[in-house]
Structure 1
Amino acid sequence: MEKASWLEWLRRETEVPFAGWDFSYVKKTGRLQEAPLGWNYTSLVQRKLPEAQALLDMGTGGGEFLAMLRPLPEQTYATEGYQPNVVIARERLEPLGVTVVEADGEDTLPFSDETFDLIINRHESFDAGEVFRIARKGATFLTQQVGGENDLLLNRLLGAPIPQEYLHWNARYAAEQLERAGLVLTDCREEMVPTRFYDVGAVVYYLRAVPWQIPDFTLERYADGLWELQGRIEKDGYLDVPSHRFLLQAVRPFA
Structure 2
Amino acid sequence: MSSSRDSASAGSRTFDDLVAEAAAAPTQGWDFSWFEGRATEARPSWGYARAMGERLGAVSAALDVQTGGGEVLASAPSLPAVAVATEGWPPNVAKATALLHPRGAVVVASAEDAPLPFADGAFDLVTSRHPVTPHFEEIARVLRPGGTYFAQHVGPSSVFELVEYFLGEQPEEVRNARDPEGERAAAEAAGLDVVSLRAERLRMEFFDVGAVVHFLRKVVWMVPGFTVDAYRTRLRELDGLIREEGPFVAHSTRHLFDARKR
State the AA in 2 paired with 1:71: S
Q: What displacement does 1:105 show? A: 4.1
Which runs of structure 2 are paired with 1:181-220 in the superposition (5 Å)?
181-220=190-229
Please tell me whether the aligned partners of residues 21 and 61 of structure 1 are also in contact (alpha carbons under 8 angstroms): yes
- CA distance in structure 2 between the aligned counterparts of 1:206 and 1:219, rounded to whole angstroms: 12
Structure 1 equivalent of residue 3 of structure 2: none
RMSD: 2.2
User: What is the aligned residue count?
Assistant: 250
* TM-score, length basis structure 2: 0.88
**Structure 1 residue ranges, 4+ long, deviating more than 6 angstroms after superposition:** none
Q: Deviations over 1:144-165 (max 9, x none)?
A: 1112311211122234574865
Tell whether the 8 Å contact from 1:106 to 1:126 is kept in structure 2 after alignment. no
Aligned to 1:223: 232
Report the secondary structure of 1:51's partner residue: coil
The answer on 1:178 being equivalent to 2:187 is yes
Aligned residue for 1:135? 143
Contact 2:50/2:76, CA 8 A, preserved across alignment: no
Equivalence for 1:151: 159
CA distance in 2, matches of 1:173, 1:145: 13
Deviation at 1:198, TM superposition (A): 0.9
Matches within 5 A, 1:1-255: 5-26=14-35, 29-124=36-131, 125-159=133-167, 162=170, 167-253=176-262
TM-score by length of 1: 0.90
Q: Which runs of 5+ in 2 are unaligned?
A: 1-9
Which amino acid in 2 is paired with 1:202? A
Question: Contact 1:170 / 1:246 at 8 angstroms: preserved in 2?
Answer: no
Give the Å deviation of 1:200. Answer: 0.9
How far apart are the structure 2 equivalents of 1:24 and 1:107?
Answer: 31
Which segment is superposed worse, 71-80 or 37-46? 37-46
Q: Deviations over 1:37-60 (max 9, x none)?
A: 232111221332232110111111
For structure 1, which runs of at least 5 residues remain unmatched after alignment?
none
Kept after mapping to 1: 8 A contact 2:166/2:223: no
**Percent of aligned positions that are identical:** 35
- How far, CA to CA, are the matches of 1:161 and 1:221 in structure 2? 18
Deviations 1:7-30, CA, capped at 9 Å, x for gaps: 24312321122221222111xx22
- 2:6 is matched with none
